[in-house]
Chain A
Amino acid sequence: MSFNPFYILPELILTAGGILVLLAGLSTRKWEAPGKIKPYSPEALALLTLTGALASSLALLWRPEVVKGVSQFGDMIAVDPMAVFFKIVVLACSIFVVFLAADYFQGIRVHRGEFYALLIFATLAASFLSAATDLIMIYLSLEFLSITSYVLVGWLKQDPRSNEASVKYFLYGAVAAAVMVYGMSIFYGLAATTDIAAIHSKLVSYPPDGSPTHIIFLGLLMMMVGFGFKISMAPFHQWAPDTYEGAPTPVTAFLSVASKAAGFAVVLRVLVSVFTPGVVDWTPMIVALSGLTMTVGNLTALPQCNIKRMLAYSSIAQAGYLLLGVAALRLSPLALPAVMLYLFIYLFMNMGAFAVVTMVSARLNSDDIREYSGLAKRSPASAVAMAIFMLSLAGIPPAAGFVGKFYLFAAALQSGDKTLLYLAILAIANTVISVYYYMNVVRYMYFAKPKSDTPLKPSFAMNMVVGFAAAATIIMLISPEPFIQMAKHSAALLTGTP
């Protein structure tokens, strides 16, 4: 058992930085105005830590050894392009969240130091989750991410909605994790090991007629409960609306992108490396779950008047589209890059949307969609950006969401499978439904009469963040080629190829 510190440099930076931020938090006063951010304040240190980890992850992505894939700590984690790619997505998301939180918490008295420390540790858990190749490591990092998220969701102690969100998230999460661990124990029982590569070789070693297919399928189904909870897949999505609504908006943004991306990383890794074609056919299961998830998400998003609830259902629907790519994994070589490209685009469009929501809710103290009336007059730049994000989430040009959806549907069509074709048609129908609730926000911003004409003044940092996300969303449509190349490059796993 050995490891090379270079390969886990992002995690080492996160661990050290998290502890440092915790200590720095002791020296700040919780009601200090964010205008007075000093070099040693938790925000600045958290930003430095996350940027350092992001830089070291980027440095890893094109290293020749990493492209082949390296195993660390005796097969506990893999350092392969897919793991590094998901680390980049998670770290980029957390950097956004730091900016959002600095803006969001300016009027609220909270423990700032500990907030950023926990955010960094949640990022650490998510990056381990995207690299885990051992059931113990998968379970531990998933629970680590969940436990940290429960606390972050309940951070606004005085707000009963935040408390409710945290308790709901905790109860659902505990049950999902218990079912998942039961599923994992089945595979430990079959293979007497927790290493997923070894489990795979045990599962393929059964003779064709003597394979305990039912038990394997049951175990996979139980594990999918835990993973499905993380990616807010129906029917394990019920926590999402209340938790998204009650949590502090930056935390909601974290849950909707980083937590979901890490969940997808583990779903992809387990499905690709363990359940190869000879073991069990999971395509019909994922097709059904994908169709259910996108339809439930979209139909329930329609009547929402709270923007965070609406984005919660929207993120459930987006998970459904991503599952369409997962379902095509076996039949189309395009599927894995398509899922990764979509997640990368989703990172920018969803974080951008949450940045605008954070900006508005910090200034108007409300998440009601009606409050967005006349945003075009009160803060024209934010309104334009929000319109771009909404178009992108709906998958309409001129925004990158279109490219992402195009590739997902292309993967489904390329597979040539009948059920996947029907699923793609269902996804297109769902996209049309989703246009209604996404455009509803745009309608309020541009055509509804504002309650007041006082301009909202986003801070310079928030303008930069929203502008950056909007620019990225546009650029990825105009010249998607480098990003497609990156997704294709990253669609490589240490063990097993789709």
Chain B
Amino acid sequence: MPTITLQQFMFGAIALVILGSAILVATLRNIFHCLLFLALSFLGVAGVYLLLSADFLAAVQVLVYIGAITVLMMFALMMTHRVMTTDISQSLTQWWLAPLPIALGIFAVLFRVYVRHGGQALVDTKHHAVPTTGIIGQALLTRYMLPFELASILLLVAMVGAIILAKEDKSDDPA
């Protein structure tokens, strides 16, 4: 019986969670349930990042994809009542063959990379994991200070813009 490392075991488990929930996202008929499984799938991807010792990326994945994007979609769903309860068929009757070449193509590329490297791990897993958050923080406030500050102005502008576009203007409203 081949021995496997804890890392490989964890990867297998996480991959099962990602793939399983992704399949459910694509097949379930209740869109709200799809969304919940989408969040689970995102969580699995965060786990993969952790295994690759990309701790910052994992945290961002949880914060942005689960904390922001999925929740935003849930809000959008809850505001459109009918969609919540209706069953929607997800099977495409005419185009079901179209994704096949794309999937096969991606598989071919990945398989080629795998063969080329003789089945060796592409990422150096023996290396000691260095927490990346601190390094990224330092880079943001030194070399990348200007883009970082510019991004903060961009966020301000985006907020102002979003409020302006979304706000309902009443006739006697001072603005």
Contacts and interface: CB of A to CB of B under 8 A. Distances in A.
A3 B142 CA distance: 11
Interface in B115-155: 142-147, 150-151, 153-154
A161 B10 CA distance: 53
Contacts of B175: 25, 29-30, 111-113
Nearest to A29: B174
Interface string B154-167: 10011011101100
Contact of A137 (B146, B162, B174): B146
Contacts of A165: none
Contacts of B174: 29-30
Contacts of B143: 1, 74
Mostly, the A contact residues are helix
Interface residues of A, number: 38
Given A29-B174, A118-B157, A151 B146 contact: no
A73 B161 contact: no
A77 B150 CA distance: 12
A173 to B, nearest CB: 14
Interface in A183-218: none
A148 B146 contact: no
A151 B145 contact: no
Contacts of A112: 175
Interface size class of B (residues with CB under 8 A): 20 to 34
Interface stretch (A138-146, A301-309, A454-462): A138-146
Contact of A1 (B145, B157, B158, B161): B145
B136 to A, nearest CB: 13
Nearest to B158: A147
B144, B150, B158: most-surrounded residue (chain A CB, <10 A): B150
A266 to B, nearest CB: 15
Contacts of A157: 165, 169
A29 B174 CA distance: 5
A3 B145 CA distance: 11
Given A29-B174, A29-B175, A111-B175, A121 B147 contact: no
A438 interface: no
Interface in A73-114: 73-74, 76-77, 109, 111-114
Contacts of B162: 151
A15 B161 contact: no
A158 to B, nearest CB: 8
A46 B103 CA distance: 53
A148 B162 CA distance: 10
B36 to A, nearest CB: 27
A12 to B, nearest CB: 11
A22 interface: yes
Contact of B153 (A25, A76, A113, A121): A121
Contact of A140 (B151, B161, B164): B151
A74 B140 CA distance: 12
B160 A15 contact: no
Contacts of A151: 157, 160-162, 164-165
Contacts of A466: none
B94 to A, nearest CB: 24
Contacts of A114: 160, 164
B160 A144 contact: no
A168 to B, nearest CB: 15
A141 B150 contact: yes
Nearest to A120: B157
Contact of A121 (B145, B157, B164, B169): B157
A402 interface: no
A154 interface: yes
B169 A77 contact: no
B28 to A, nearest CB: 28
B165 A148 contact: no
A23 to B, nearest CB: 12
A137 B147 contact: yes
A136 B160 contact: no
Contacts of A494: none
A241 B157 CA distance: 26
B150 A147 contact: no
A124 interface: yes
Interface in A150-192: 150-151, 154-155, 157
A147 B157 contact: yes
Interface string B58-96: 000000000000000000000000000000000000000
Interface string A26-42: 00011000000000000
A109 B169 contact: yes
A117 interface: yes
Contact of B144 (A121, A136, A154): A136
Contacts of B169: 109, 157
A462 to B, nearest CB: 24
Contact of B147 (A1, A111, A117, A140): A140
A236 interface: no
11 contacts: A1-B143, A74-B142, A76-B147, A109-B169, A111-B175, A137-B150, A144-B153, A147-B154, A148-B161, A151-B164, A157-B165
- Which 9 A-B residue pairs are closest in the complex by CB-CB distance? A151-B161, A73-B146, A30-B175, A76-B146, A111-B175, A144-B154, A121-B157, A29-B174, A140-B147
Interface of B: 142-147, 150-151, 153-154, 157-158, 160-162, 164-165, 169, 174-175
